Structure 1
Amino acid sequence: MNITRTNVDALNAVVTVAVSKNDYASKVEKVLADYRKNALIPGFRKGAVPMSLIQKQYGKAVLLEEVNKVLQENLNNYLVEEKLDILGNPLPKVTEDFDWNKEDFTFDFELGLAPEFSVDLSAKNNITAFKIIADDKMLNDQVERIQKQYGKLISKDTVEEGDDLNVTFSNEVNGINSTTSISLDVFKDKKTAKKFIGKKVGDVIEIGTKGLFDDDHKLMDYLKVDHDLVHGLDIEVSAKIEGITTSEKAELNQELFDKLFGEGNVTSVDGVKAKIKEDAEKQFAQQADQKFLNDVTEFLLESTKFDLPSEFLIKWLQNAGEKPLTEEEAREEFAKSERGLRYQLIEGKIMTENNLQITFEDLKAFTSELIKKQMAQFGQMNPTQEDIDGIVARVLSNQDEVKRLSEQVMSEKMLGLFKEKVKVKTKEVSYEQFVKEMYGE
């Protein structure tokens, strides 16, 4: 068998595979001999059917199958031996006058080659790494929220200042129908809050959404409005009062501290705030890391330039899925997936150049920590290592879970590498400031 490659350009090539009779003949003969041993044809004893009859009945189908096996095996070996980095799969070039009655065959395959490019993690950029802090306002609000949550709830008939309301916001035209709990101090304009004073359960108040809250993003929480619509939204909504309650705040004492954090773990209000700050900033760090990862990804996509074998990939996409696509559909699919493919190539380059690998020990350690956190959420604070190891073994026996967890481990490794090598400015912000930065405001 002879295999040659012709480079069309830097991103496209044609591989020609010449298959001679010597490459497949013995395999075809063996298969036909096995057919003959087991063939049941009227007029002949089992195993005594003439080979000419077997050849006539099965020969062409067996020839096609065995030639294809030899072809695919040798083509795959060639791609590995030549260390060709290809995109998609080889595409056979259709020959209209192909003759299967010959003894020697020639097959051409189109290849889409991965581009050559470099990734510069240290290049100049405009990325900001945020450190989100739980400021005094947030801590005080959280303490007050805890006092109300653990305080005594009293139902009322009439709204007064300081009450909590269960309200259904609705606007049929805009598809708004959201029931939520609010306190009157959530409204930016005091005139809006005053509209509720003196109202009773079942009353409906008409209010405008423009400037309703100090941050338009709160429309997402209270009215369930999509982010793309919240900025400057100026419509009227009906607010129906479903319930009125006031809360007699819980006393900040040791009994409450023990209920919240376990006996003796926290002994003062300052201790409560310290614990809230610690827990909140752990969550904030995850959000800041995700934004950092997203921003680095965008930077790499913008700064790393290379061409793709687009026409080849469009042609490949036409028959890559279960359902064949038209050329137009394949072009649309390519347009949707191009950025993802580009980042996949960039990420692969970074992983190779920085020797980022996932070991089974990495996977076990990550899964173990994940399980400990999940168990802690359900009050199991001190599970035995034996219990943890048993759960880890069960989880990692599922290939889908292994794939999902592997992606998370690699994401963490990439994050660590980016923090080490991408030069960025850092900025300390409150959570409210971070939300504004997150949405580019």
Structure 2
Amino acid sequence: MNITKEQIDDLNAVVTVAITKEDYQEKVDKILRDYRKQADIPGFRKGHVPLGLIKKQYGKSILVDEVNKLLQDNLNKYLTEEKLDVLGNPLPKQQDNFDWDNEELAFEFELGLAPDFEVSLDTEEPITRYKIVADEKMVNEQVERLRKQHGKLISKSEVNTKDEVTGTFTNEEEEIDNKATLELEKIEDETALESLKGKKVGDSITLNTKGLLKDDYLLSSVLGVTQEKAKDLDIQVVFTIEEINEREPAELTQEFFDTIFGEGNITSEEEMKERIKEDSEKQFEQQADQKLLNDVTEYFIENIDFELPAEFLTKWIKMTGEEPLTEDQAVEEYEKSEKGLRYQLIEGKIIEDNDIQLQREEVMEFAKGYIRSQMAQYGQLDPKEEELDGIAARVLANQDEAKRLSEQLMSQKLLELYKEKANLKTKEVNYEDFIKEVYG
């Protein structure tokens, strides 16, 4: 067997694999002899069918199978030994007048090669790293929310602007029939707010859903529909009042602090506000980190310029898709995937240049941390290490889960690298300004 490579250009090559009879004949003959032992053909005793007949019936298919196995094994070995960084998979070239009866068989494969490029983390333009702070306004609002949440309900005879009104929302056409509590402070529509004032238990009122509440997500909750359905929903619903309450905020006592933060952990309003600020900013840091990761990724994609073997990749997509594609469909699919492919190459280059590796022990610890946080949400705050080890082992035995967690850990390592080496500028903002700046 002989394998040679013809370099077409920097991104394309053709590999030719030449196979002679000596490479496969012994294996083909052995399989034919085994077939003969098992063959059950009318007119012949089992195991005594003439070898020539077996060869005539099965020889060509066996030859094709064995040659294909040789091609796959040796081509993959060649690519590894020659350290060829290929995109997609080798594509067999169409060869006219190919004859399987020839003494020597030659197969040609097109290769799409990964481009050679450099990645500098010290970017020309600094990338913004947001530091989101919990300002005094946000902390005070959180204190008031907790006081109301743990406060006392006082029954009222009629609706006032600061009350909570429980009732049922209905709309027969949209199949809405949902009991919920409506906080009047969350109502955006002034007309709706005025129409609710003075209403009593048993009264019904028709409300327009569009622009009804200050936050879009609240509408899906009170109507009992998905957020997707609630978005831009413009209908009328009938709200029938069943209960009216005023919520008297809880006093800032030690009992209140213990209920929320655990016994003895917080002993004053000042400590409470500092704890709320710290906890909020930890949560904000996750959002800021994701924003930084997205921005660095986008910067690299937009500013690191290299060519791809587009024609080869389009052909590869066309030939290897689950369903047959036209040329135009293949071009469209390539254009959709090009951006993702570019970042995969950039990310791979960064990982290689900075020798970032994932050790099995690291992935295991990362998985345990993920499981620990999931268990905490259900009140299991102190799981045993042996229990975590067992759950993590089962999770990582699932290839999809292991891949997902490994990718998350790699993203975390890349983020740490960017924070250390990338050209960043820190911008301190409160959460409200962050949302406006990032999401518009």
Q: Taking structure 2 as the reference length, what is the TM-score of the superposition?
A: 0.88
Residue number in structure 1 paired with 2:296: 296
Distance 1:409 1:177 in 2: 44
Distance 2:57 2:273 in 1: 85
Shift of 1:296: 0.7
Residue number in structure 2 paired with 1:287: 287
Moved more, 378-387 or 96-105: 378-387
Gaps of 5+ in 2: 221-225
Q: Deviations over 1:265-322 (max 9, x none)?
A: 2222222222222221111110110011111111010111111111111111113232
> Percent same amino acid at aligned positions?
54
The 3-state SS of whatever aligns with 2:397 is coil
Q: Deviations over 1:45-85 (max 9, x none)?
A: 33222211111111111111111111221111111111110
Change (3 A) 1:236 1:377: closer
Distance 2:171 2:310 in 1: 47
Contact 1:132 1:288 in 2 (8 A): yes
The 3-state SS of whatever aligns with 1:58 is helix
Residue number in structure 2 paired with 1:80: 80
Alignment length (residue pairs): 431
Q: Taking structure 1 as the reference length, what is the TM-score of the superposition?
A: 0.88
Gaps of 5+ in 1: none
Distance 2:178 2:313 in 1: 46
Contact 1:176 1:225 in 2 (8 A): no
Distance 2:271 2:261 in 1: 10
Moved more, 344-353 or 37-46: 37-46
Shift of 1:126: 4.8
Change (3 A) 1:323 1:208: closer
Residue number in structure 2 paired with 1:43: 43
Contact 1:203 1:241 in 2 (8 A): yes
Residue number in structure 1 paired with 2:22: 22
Cα RMSD of the aligned pairs, angstroms, is 3.0
Change (3 A) 1:375 1:225: closer
Residue number in structure 1 paired with 2:310: 310
The 3-state SS of whatever aligns with 1:117 is coil
Contact 2:171 2:236 in 1 (8 A): yes
Residue number in structure 2 paired with 1:398: 398
Moved more, 315-324 or 418-427: 315-324
Alignment-mate amino acid for residue 202 of structure 1: S
Are 1:424 and 2:414 matched, yes or no? no
Change (3 A) 1:176 1:379: closer
Shift of 1:348: 0.6
Alignment-mate amino acid for residue 203 of structure 1: I
Distance 2:167 2:119 in 1: 53
Say which of 199, 202, 205 aligns to 2:204.
Answer: 202
Shift of 1:182: 4.9
Shift of 1:325: 1.8
Residue number in structure 2 paired with 1:153: 153
Moved more, 167-176 or 356-365: 167-176
Alignment of 1:119-158 (within 5 A): 119-158=119-158
Q: Deviations over 1:91-139 (max 9, x none)?
A: 1111232112212111111111111111111112252111111111111
Residue number in structure 2 paired with 1:276: 276
Shift of 1:239: 7.9
Distance 1:348 1:401 in 2: 21
Contact 2:36 2:54 in 1 (8 A): yes
Distance 1:428 1:172 in 2: 49
Shift of 1:326: 1.9
Alignment-mate amino acid for residue 71 of structure 1: L
Contact 2:126 2:423 in 1 (8 A): no
Alignment-mate amino acid for residue 75 of structure 1: L
Contact 1:192 1:207 in 2 (8 A): no
Change (3 A) 1:242 1:102: farther
Shift of 1:140: 1.3
